[in-house]
Amino acid sequence: MDRSVCTRFAPSPTGLLHIGNARTAIMNWVFARHAGGSFVLRIEDTDRERSTIESEAAIYEDLRWLGLDWDEGPDAGGGYGPYRQSERLDIYRQTLNHLVDSGKVYPCYCTPEELENQRQRMAIQGENQQIEDPCRNVSSEQKVRFKTEGRTPAFRFRVEKEDISFNDLIRGAIPFHGENIGDFIIARADRVPMYNFACVVDDHFMQITHIVRGDDHVSNTPRQILLYRALGWETPFFAHIPMILGGDRVRLSKRHGATSVSEYRKNGYLPEALVNFLSLLSWSSESGDEILPKDRLIKEFDFSRVSKSASVFDVEKLGWMNGVYIRGMDVEGLLPLAKPFFKDAHGTVSDQEMRAVLTILHENLETFSQISEKGKIFFQNHVVPENAEAEALMQSAEAKSVFQAFSDETSALSEWNGAVFQTVMKAIQKKTGIKGKNLWMPIRVALTGQIHGPELAKVVEILGLEKCRRFVAEAPHGTGLS
């Protein structure tokens, strides 16, 4: 692997993998593979109260399901580990001591209450600036007094009033003023690092060259650049991708629907479709094509084609895209993926039955979870009309004639398939003089409960003669079997 390009994905194992974080992982992975570089998985688990082994395992599972592999990580090893932050505390402490010894970091003995009181005073006075920490120039005598009081200090980075800027690979030049940043805490009293400090230390020692992340981290970047400078380390490249919004153009949240990768997995989306869709939330191919398998995403990726604007998560478009991928597979390939959905919705179903149903549903299936609703017509024991219109179709005098004729024409049959069904319907038309919608709709509703649906000749083959006769007999105003 070429270490001249090395990206990383660094999730916190505090819950399920969010769809926005998955998009970040995909962008890092695609760019690393495009450049022939390395992709590192790092677990940021310094939040001891919320981090769990179960969440970490779920992250691995979701990433692998998406088809993302990593060259280094907690489970893969590598030459720049360990890859869990909880196992890197000595590294952080050594770096912290160096910064303290150089005078670039100082102990802050202020209590949260004291800092909050200062914020309130400044707000009343109308001052618009960062808090000047009173511990910045604390005397030796004051330190002794604070220690006597039992105060254990946190550690603040000393920010000078200098201009900071960086050239974002997506957004271009972004300037900041040091006087608007203020001294910031880099380690708690127990010397466990805060986010910005831990990231800088990890990214440096793991030789991360490109940091690709959401643009909600733009405000963190100047603090991290200051830390790189203070430590004499080379600053990596930054690329901040736009956030994902819901249809109401508010940041994507649970009220917009599923937000975790595992939910989309459970709802019957294909990983290839989800990767394709998430990639296009912030990037576009020069070709204008929207169906892009991973090999094309990798080949065509370019930061110059990443949008600066927020992207809207369009569930309908994801469904359409997933349907394209489903239609691109043959029934044998779909079978193992669809089996769990058949079982959950319809109980024990034979492979033969599943193949037959998938053959019919294949062209109109957007997610496997639709097997429950779209497939119920093949597994129901009693038909219920889907709405008042469907029920009304079966209550006319013409429908009664069609049902009677269907019973008569099928009473002596032993063979049953789509071709025989077509012959029966022609015989009913000739016998009753009823044709078109008035002929076909009552039969469709009697057999499926629906006004629209798959081709009836294919449906009746799966239902079988006995069930078709029974359903027609049970329809409103049906004649009963003769």
Q: What are the φ and ψ backbone dihedral angles of 30, each rounded to 5 degrees?
A: -60, -45
Identify the three-state secondary structure at position 283.
strand
For 269, the token pair is 């989306």
Element (H, E) at 106: strand 105-108
Catalytic residue among 147, 161, 254, 339: 254
The answer to whether 217 and 244 are in contact (CB under 8 A) is no
Q: Are strands 38-41 and 6-9 parallel, antiparallel or unpaired?
A: parallel
Q: Any residues with CB less than 8 A from the CB of 444 and at least 6 apart, and which?
A: 450, 451, 453, 456
Query: Tokens 């629906």 — which residue?
Result: 450
Query: Tokens 């193949």 — which residue?
Result: 355
The answer to whether 203 and 28 are in contact (CB under 8 A) is no
Identify the three-state secondary structure at position 374.
helix
Check the CA dihedral 153-159-165-171 and report its sign. positive
CA-based nearest residue to 69, from 77, 57, 60, 80: 60
Say how many C-beta atoms besides its own lie within 10 A of residue 159's C-beta: 21
Task: Please give the DSSP secondary-structure letter assigned to residue 256.
Answer: G
What is the identity of the amino acid at 21? N
- Concerning whether 254 is annotated as a catalytic residue, the answer is yes
Instruction: Calculate the dihedral angle through the C-alpha atoms of 434, 436, 441, 443, rounding to the nearest 10 degrees.
Output: 50
Q: Where are the alpha helices (DSSP H) in 280-376?
A: 294-300, 315-327, 331-346, 351-361, 371-374
The answer to whether 349 and 379 are in contact (CB under 8 A) is yes
Say how many C-beta atoms besides its own lie within 10 A of residue 295's C-beta: 9
Identify the three-state secondary structure at position 443.
helix
CA-based nearest residue to 91, from 211, 200, 6: 200
Q: What are the φ and ψ backbone dihedral angles of 445, each rounded to 5 degrees?
A: -65, -40
Q: What are the φ and ψ backbone dihedral angles of 169, each rounded to 5 degrees?
A: -65, -15
Q: Which residues are catalytic?
A: 254
